[in-house]
Amino acid sequence: MSEVKHHEVVMIGAGPSALAAAVYTTRENIESVLIEKSVIGGLAAITDLVDNYPGFEKGISGLDLSQKLQAQAERFGAKIELDEVTAIEDGGDEKIVKTLEGEYRAKAVLIATGSDYKKINVPGEEEYYGKGVHYCATCDGAFYNDKKLVVVGGGNSAAQEALFLTRFASHIDILIRSDWKASDVLIEEIEKHGAITVHKGVATNEIVGENNQVTKVLGKDKSGQSLEFPTDGVFVFVGLYPNTKFLNSSNIELDDRGFIKTDANLMTTMPGVFASGDVRSGATMQIASAVGEGATAALKIRQYLEGR
Amino acid sequence: MSKQITVYTTNNCAYCVMVKKYLSSKGHQYDEVNVELNPDRRQEVMDISGARTVPVTVITDGRGQKQVAIGPNYGLIASALA
């Protein structure tokens, strides 16, 4: 594809924030296209259970929630294209969004690219990626029926996904560098679960394997004592980093952790370019917040378009 | 010459849903092997991909040549089906 496509609004990403924004824009006949490089629904889509999104009294699977958001946005005319944005430039009246397959031009742009799971950057992590080191429990958990697993991390994602993995694994060791950051509800559920052992104050130092298979995780406790955790696989959930690498060549200002700075109207330092959800500096990393910010961004985009 | 497509999946894998949607949107038919429902076929996909992950998309041409895309690798899938 090499032709230039002109749109009213281009949204980069198709996670909950962009999908919510698209519901608002397209419902008011503001033509919008969403560009997604990986999975519609973003990180939410690969989350086993979303238990704190309002309106679902029994919780809802991340995949189901994503599909409902997508269906709602598409009902009003949102278009979703699978492509990867590589750069964004200020073309004055039109913003130029460059992708692997071509170029989009839009009167306004919403960046809602969300965040991704951080790596722990220890020996063995890259070598055994996909072969024993994983970042998606709902994708890869089924390969560990009756196996031992290690989960690294102490936040909500680590806790929720460890609980999901108990469907398959015979036992799970959770390694937390300091202390829990997960919600009390999840911690209580884990602590009463017979198949999970929690190790707080343990740093993960190396993932070891042989014959192309992970065999153990090496760690160290706070006193410096070395520890070994025999395992068949490792699932890592140690926090999030923003998907903003494609902005490196733009003049959109980021904070010191790489999240996008916005003003009170959710506009970035490039006029006509807005940001919402997990990728925005100050985001709370909650699906409900991302959806709320998406709705707000859509209303601010409408104001911006009307005032041009 | 038509190509045979097999997508290995699990029950709750959002990336698998995306790959299936991508193939359908391009008008391709495919066979799905859910390795969570068919645990006896887990080793098969591990042997093909060298990994314990899904989605794995296997595209076999008329001469039996296979191309394997691990994850939502739409670029590789598109070029294998071109």
**What would the pLDDT profile of A165-192 be if each residue is shown by its tens digit?**
999 999 999 999 999 999 999 999 999 9
- Residues from chain A that touch B41, judged by Cβ atoms under 8 A, are none
Q: What local confidence, expressed as pLDDT, does residue B1 receive?
A: 58
A226: pLDDT strictly greater than 70: yes
d(CA A231, CA A81): 40
> What's the one-letter identity of residue A69?
L
* Contact indicator for A139, B13 with CB cutoff of 8 Å: yes
Go through A195-230 and write b for each residue having 16 or more CB atoms within 10 A of its CB, e for each that does not: ebebeeebbbbebbbeeeebebbbbeeeeeeebebe
d(CA A186, CA A196): 12
Tokens standing for residue A284: 């709370």
To the nearest whole percent, how much of chain A has pLDDT over 70?
99
> Mind listing the pLDDT tens digit for each residue in A139-156?
999 999 999 999 999 999
β A103-111/A94-99 pair status: antiparallel
Burial (Cβ within 10 Å: 0-12, 13-18, ≥19) of residue A102: middle
Q: What local confidence, expressed as pLDDT, does residue A233 receive?
A: 98
Tokens 């060549």, located at residue: A249
Per the DSSP assignment, residues forming a β-bridge with A217 are A207, A229
Q: Which residue of B14, B49, B52 is in closest CB contact with A66? A: B14
Q: What local confidence, expressed as pLDDT, does residue A6 receive?
A: 92
Total residues belonging to chain B:
82
Closest CA to A218 of A210, A234, A229: A229
Q: pLDDT-derived band of residue B32, with 50, 70 and 90 as boundaries?
A: very high
d(CA B32, CA B5): 9
Q: What local confidence, expressed as pLDDT, does residue A206 receive?
A: 98
Average pLDDT, chain B: 94
CA A16-A22-A26 angle, 5° bins: 160
What pTM value is reported for the model? Answer: 0.87
β A49-50/A60-61 pair status: antiparallel
Q: Mean pLDDT throughout B33-56?
A: 95
**Ramachandran quadrant class, B48 (left: phi over 0; alpha: psi -120 to 50; beta: rest):** alpha
Q: Which residue of A39, A130, A142 is in closest CB contact with B36? A: A142
| DSSP-H helix ranges across A8-114 | 16-27, 42-45, 62-75
A2: pLDDT strictly greater than 70: no
Q: Mean pLDDT throughout B70-82?
A: 91
d(CA A217, CA A234): 8
Report the residue of chain A nearest B72, measured CA to CA: A38
A1: pLDDT strictly greater than 70: no
A274: pLDDT strictly greater than 80: yes
Q: Which residue of A63, A67, A139 is in closest CB contact with B54? A: A139
Go through B9-28 and write b for each residue having 16 or more CB atoms within 10 A of its CB, e for each that does not: bbebbbbbbbbbebbeeeee
Q: What local confidence, expressed as pLDDT, does residue A4 receive?
A: 84
Contact B13 A61 (CB under 8 A): no
Contacts of A4 (CB under 8 A, 6+ apart): A102, A103, A104, A105
Contact B52 A134 (CB under 8 A): yes
Average pLDDT, chain A: 96
Q: What local confidence, expressed as pLDDT, does residue B2 receive?
A: 82
Q: Is A38 on the interface with B (CB under 8 A)?
A: yes
Tokens standing for residue B48: 């093909």
* Contact indicator for A187, A180 with CB cutoff of 8 Å: yes
A63: pLDDT strictly greater than 70: yes
Q: pLDDT-derived band of residue B75, with 50, 70 and 90 as boundaries?
A: confident
Q: What local confidence, expressed as pLDDT, does residue A106 receive?
A: 98
